[in-house]
Amino acid sequence: MKKTKQKVNAAIIIIGNEILSGRTQDVNVATISNWLNQLGVSLKEVRIVPDIEKVIIKTVKEMYKKFTYIFTTGGIGPTHDDITSKTISKAFNMSYGYHDEAYKLLEKYYSKKNFTSGRKKMAMMPRQAGLILNPSSGAPGFFVKNVYCLPGVPSILKSMLGGLENKIKGGKKILTKTISARTVESEIAKSLTKVQNKFTDIDIGSYPFFKQGRIGVSIVVRSTKKKKIDDCCKEIVSFLKKKEINILGKK
């Protein structure tokens, strides 16, 4: 019997009251999603949860069996409300404490004299965890099973993703093409549905925008197969021209 290739997918758990309160705007989802696309991993779900232990544990336990990879952001810093490390330990019944390798890395980074209790806290995590090295600020992230725990600071998170590429096994690179047009969704909805019904294995999305005082729609086509994307886009361009809709650009 021929084995079907399992699709590689992922989910993100954003941890932090500051995101839910609106004080901080999340940009990490876009960074991780774009990175995963390059690796051939499809992001399927994103959840935002508060800094509450039982909520984090429940969410992690529910999601780690459902997806190939889970990425958490936030809650691994030095303050009292950074509880992700301890919570992940509890979720997987792992011993929590100073991680030997992480402790040595941070002690060297800060020097013994400046290695304060707050900084030492960033070396506390599941003792069995693997480390995600941090080229920006020294404090490592960590991973257990298929759960990868990253910081919430966008610039630091982005700098750490490169070190994960040899740990994430994806599929074919997910390609994207965008057609922007001066129209509204209601004007193209029927035609776009026909194209989607014809190309059932292509992901087609339409996204309204408002630019320079005028409205428009960006049609985004996603697939691992370039020829199918090209064929699909040809049909989209064809119906736009028939409707005499101004095409603003393709990329």
pLDDT of residue 236: 96
Please state, rounded to an integer, the average pLDDT across all residues of the chain.
Answer: 93
Do the beta carbons of residue 29 and residue 52 sit within 8 Å? Answer: no
pLDDT of residue 251: 87
pLDDT of residue 83: 96
Report percent pLDDT > 90 for the chain: 86
Q: Which two tokens stand for residue 168?
A: 């994430």
Partners of 141 in the β-ladder:
132
Higher-pLDDT residue of 224 and 45 is 45
Do the beta carbons of residue 225 and residue 204 sit within 8 Å? Answer: no
Instruction: Say if residue 2's pLDDT is above 70.
Output: no
Number of Cβ within 10 Å of residue 171's Cβ equals 16
pLDDT of residue 214: 83
d(CA 70, CA 64): 6
d(CA 63, CA 92): 13
**Residue spans per domain, the chain:** 9-164, 175-250
- The CA distances from residue 97 to 28, 73, 102, 114, 128, in Å, are 27, 20, 11, 20, 10
Read off the pLDDT band of 85 (50, 70, 90): very high
What confidence tens digit (pLDDT) does each residue in 170-222 have? 888 889 999 999 999 999 999 999 999 999 999 999 999 998 788 999 999 99
pTM of the entire predicted model? 0.83
Do the beta carbons of residue 115 and residue 106 sit within 8 Å? Answer: yes
Rg (CA), the chain: 22
Partners of 243 in the β-ladder:
none
CATH number, span 175-250: 3.30.70.600
Read off the pLDDT band of 111 (50, 70, 90): very high
Q: Which two tokens stand for residue 63?
A: 């999601």
Is CATH 3.40.980.10 what the domain over 9-164 is classified as, yes or no? Answer: yes
pLDDT of residue 221: 96
Instruction: Say if residue 4's pLDDT is above 60.
Output: no
d(CA 214, CA 204): 23
